[in-house]
A and B are shown apart, each in its own frame.
Chain A
Amino acid sequence: DAKTTQPNSMESNEEEPVHLPCNHSTISGTDYIHWYRQLPSQGPEYVIHGLTSNVNNRMASLAIAEDRKSSTLILHRATLRDAAVYYCILRDQSSAGGTSYGKLTFGQGTILTVHP
């Protein structure tokens, strides 16, 4: 699986936007970019995913660079509940990548601290 690189930690203030970067310079054409987050003492939860175009949902936005070698998860107004570890994950969803059977390969993630 292609590797992702994220900062170990980031800080934000409540109600301010947060931009969480992820580098994936070895991404392949069939890799989707997924983001999950893990709140303290909970299992991970899905946030968003995309392939080439920017994506928006009720939780966040995903901005994907034109060359796809990096992406940014955007939380538009951070709340205290957004304090979590954020994981950027690549999933090869082509038939050739089918042997991965959809498993998620987590890295260390970014620890996001939100200050009141």
Chain B
Amino acid sequence: GAGVSQTPSNKVTEKGKYVELRCDPISGHTALYWYRQSLGQGPEFLIYFQGTGAADDSGLPNDRFFAVRPEGSVSTLKIQRTERGDSAVYLCASSLGLWDEQFFGPGTRLTVL
């Protein structure tokens, strides 16, 4: 079956611009996670959704970052006033339930010039 998909695969933007990154989880998965991975580092947790609500957003670095999942399926990560330090691969994962294995998408590579 279809895995987790993320669009776009690559995004290049200029400093100060707004970007949206999309995640389509596996159908039926209630849990959805966003992670960010900088070069040479392991992924870093950003936010977790259970259904439509953000159950834990403790990993969001500041208020320029926001994520939504309005219908409990597709999620969008939004970054305002992008900075060069936001450049990274943004990974989305979904799981059937809270403690089940997480299935990751291929990621969106964001480059802020």
A interface with B by C-beta (< 8 Å): 36, 41-46, 49, 85, 87, 91, 93, 99, 101-109
Contacts and interface: CB of A to CB of B under 8 A. Distances in A.
Contact of A43 (B44, B56, B106): B106
Interface residues of B, number: 26
B72 interface: no
Interface of B: 4, 31, 33, 35, 41-45, 48, 50, 55-56, 59, 91, 93, 95, 98-99, 101-107
A108 B43 CA distance: 9
A36 to B, nearest CB: 8
Nearest to A109: B42
A87 B33 contact: no
A104 B43 contact: yes
16 contacts: A43-B4, A43-B106, A44-B43, A44-B102, A44-B104, A45-B104, A46-B102, A93-B99, A102-B31, A102-B98, A102-B102, A103-B33, A103-B48, A103-B59, A104-B33, A106-B44
Given A102-B31, A102-B33, A102-B48, 20 more contacts: A41-B106, A43-B4, A43-B91, A43-B105, A44-B91, A46-B102, A46-B103, A49-B101, A91-B99, A101-B48, A101-B50, A101-B56, A101-B98, A102-B95, A103-B45, A103-B59, A104-B33, A104-B102, A106-B43, A106-B44
